Structure 1
Amino acid sequence: MFFFVNHAICEKTLFPFQKDLTYLWEAEVSSGTVIPSVLNVTWKLEALVTVQQTEENSTIFKIKLQKNSVNNEDITALELPFCGTFVMGDFISITVSKKDELWSVNM
Structure 2
Amino acid sequence: GVAHLADRASHSLSGGERQLVALAAVLVMEPALVVFDEPTTQLDLRNRNRVRDAIAGLPHDALVVSHDLELLEDFDRVVVVRDGLVAADDRPGAALRWYREHCS
Whether these two folds match at TM > 0.5 is: no
Higher relative contact order (CA 8 A, sep 6+): 1
Q: Which has the larger radius of gyration?
A: 1
Structure 1 length as normaliser, TM-score? 0.21
| More strand as a share of residues | 1
Structure 2 length as normaliser, TM-score? 0.22
